[in-house]
Amino acid sequence: MPLPDTTPLLEIRGLSVTIPTPEGDVHAVRAVDLEIGRGDIHGLIGESGSGKTMTGMAMLGLVPKGSRIGAARFHFDGQDLRQQASRLRGRRIGMISQDPAAALNPVLSIRRQIDDVLRTHRDLPRVARRAEALALLAATGLPDPEKVLRSYPHQLSGGMQQRVVIAQALATGADFLIADEPTTALDVSVATQVLALLRRLVAERNLTVLMITHDMDVIAEACDRVTVLYAGRSVETGPVEEVLNRPAHRYTRALLGALPDAVPRGARLAVVEGSFEDPEPGPDPEGAV
């Protein structure tokens, strides 16, 4: 039996993404370290503008035109993402987007949309592609895949749409999925189901997931490890129980203190000091960190 591969699937050291604008450079990501082991669901949490989505986009090679990506190390399975991102995207790195309704073309059947992806990545005859599409839909826990295959997006509920989007991501054959707020558009009970589904798929198919979210509950529910982002920097990382129970960084503590259940009824919620809106051009708000 071969030894299990213990090198991390994703290794990022000192990632920065700088976007030039007419008003000056915006430092969307300043210094992010991220290490994701194979088979992990790794949470990336932070407030709006903390750079979590931009970190994900950088892995896909989809930063705004003219942006500069800097990193001491930016490797996926031993390959440098700075050169290989566009090649890995859609082959080994898949994406599950926030709003499943928008991610599906409203005028094409589900069969068409999954088939397009399968056709791109697998050299299979028509009939086999259909069988594969059915299998993928079934794997995402959709009842009656035959019927879903014939449906159009508007005929499906939000949860079903998100399952279709997940099936589409699996159809690429990717083993690393970037899930950007995959449950934000869903109601709470459906969100729980989708997270459970992701966990099951990770176990069954040997996937690795980067879960981008601003929701502590999602982290607690689905993730193995978590990295906290603040102002474009990774300020804390570790196993979920550890970070949530014994936060080391004061920003993480502040963030946890701001949760509605963290304070007694009627008391004021904690305010995260030094929090800021979308990153603006200018000097690093070093004081806030």
Q: Based on the shown chain and the rule CB under 8 A, indicate whether residue 117 belongs to the binding site for other proteins.
A: yes
Q: Where in 64-103 is the site for other proteins (CB under 8 A)?
A: 65, 89-91, 94-95, 97, 99, 102-103
Q: Based on the shown chain and the rule CB under 8 A, indicate whether residue 165 belongs to the binding site for other proteins.
A: yes
Q: Based on the shown chain and the rule CB under 8 A, indicate whether residue 108 belongs to the binding site for other proteins.
A: yes
Q: Exposure pattern of 48-60 as b/e (b: 16+ CB <10 Å)? A: ebbbbbbbbbbbb
Amino acid identity for residue 132 in this structure: E
Token pair listed for 142: 């959709």
Out of 1, 107, 188, 267, name the contact with other proteins by CB under 8 A.
Answer: 107
Q: Based on the shown chain and the rule CB under 8 A, indicate whether residue 105 belongs to the binding site for other proteins.
A: yes
Token pair listed for 263: 């304070």
Shortest Cβ 99–other proteins spacing (Å): 6
Q: Based on the shown chain and the rule CB under 8 A, indicate whether residue 60 belongs to the binding site for other proteins.
A: yes
* Segment interacting with other proteins, rule: CB under 8 A, options 22-30, 107-115, 245-253, 264-272: 107-115
Shortest Cβ 114–other proteins spacing (Å): 9
Q: Based on the shown chain and the rule CB under 8 A, indicate whether residue 206 belongs to the binding site for other proteins.
A: no
Give the three-class secondary structure for 215: coil
Whether the CB-CB separation of 104 and 155 falls below 8 Å is answered with no
- What is the spatial distance between Cα 178 and Cα 168, in angstroms, rounded to a whole number? 13
Shortest Cβ 78–other proteins spacing (Å): 20
The residue among 166 and 195 lying less far from other proteins, judged by its C-beta, is 166
Out of 67, 162, 172, 252, name the contact with other proteins by CB under 8 A.
Answer: 172
Mark residue 212 as left, alpha or beta (left: phi above 0; alpha: psi -120 to 50; beta: remaining). Answer: beta
Shortest Cβ 100–other proteins spacing (Å): 9
The residue among 50 and 172 lying less far from other proteins, judged by its C-beta, is 172
Amino acid identity for residue 28 in this structure: A
Whether the CB-CB separation of 149 and 137 falls below 8 Å is answered with yes
Whether the CB-CB separation of 69 and 153 falls below 8 Å is answered with no
Q: Based on the shown chain and the rule CB under 8 A, indicate whether residue 47 belongs to the binding site for other proteins.
A: no
Give the three-class secondary structure for 133: helix
Give the three-class secondary structure for 94: strand
Out of 116, 132, 215, 217, name the contact with other proteins by CB under 8 A.
Answer: 116
- What is the spatial distance between Cα 2 and Cα 155, in angstroms, rounded to a whole number? 46
* Residues at the site binding other proteins, with contacts judged by CB under 8 A: 60, 62, 65, 89-91, 94-95, 97, 99, 102-108, 112-113, 116-117, 119-121, 165, 168-169, 171-172
